[in-house]
Amino acid sequence: MIRKIIVGLAAFAAYFALAYCFKISYVQDAPYHNGTAIIPMIMTTDTSGVYRARAWVPDQVKHVVVYENGVSIGQASAIYNDPTRPWLADGKRWKFVVFRTKGGDAKRWVDFRDGD
């Protein structure tokens, strides 16, 4: 009888420990709609902690909000046209987005729906 109680308590604890691990390790996928652009890769700059990324965004956009693992890390420090890719299609062009982050592997995207 005692053995069944101990096994039951161990299974109960293991279940909730796994549930907690899955909850804290969950990373939201980037939303796929017309107001976001995925950042597949970031590039370093001369300043420590500041990175830039190339994103396909509308030409009139002047401000974007950067997301990392589903959490907003704030507005981009700067956004400017990529001089090596001057193409313009459907009102969009390649732009560099400059922002602060710790770097490392993460799912990143920009949201330009609230931008000007």
Reported as a single tens digit per residue, the pLDDT across 54-72 is 988 888 888 899 988 888 8
What DSSP state is assigned to residue 28? P
Does 9 reside within a domain? no
pTM above 0.75, yes or no: no
Average pLDDT over residues 25-44: 77
The total number of structural domains that make up the chain: 1
Domain region containing 52: 36-111
Distance CA 26, CA 13 (A): 20
**101 domain-assigned:** yes
> How far is CA 86 from each of CA 13, 55, 71, 89, rounded to the nearest angstrom?
58, 13, 31, 10
pLDDT more than 70, % of the chain: 91
Averaged pLDDT, 86-92: 83
| Res 27: pLDDT | 63
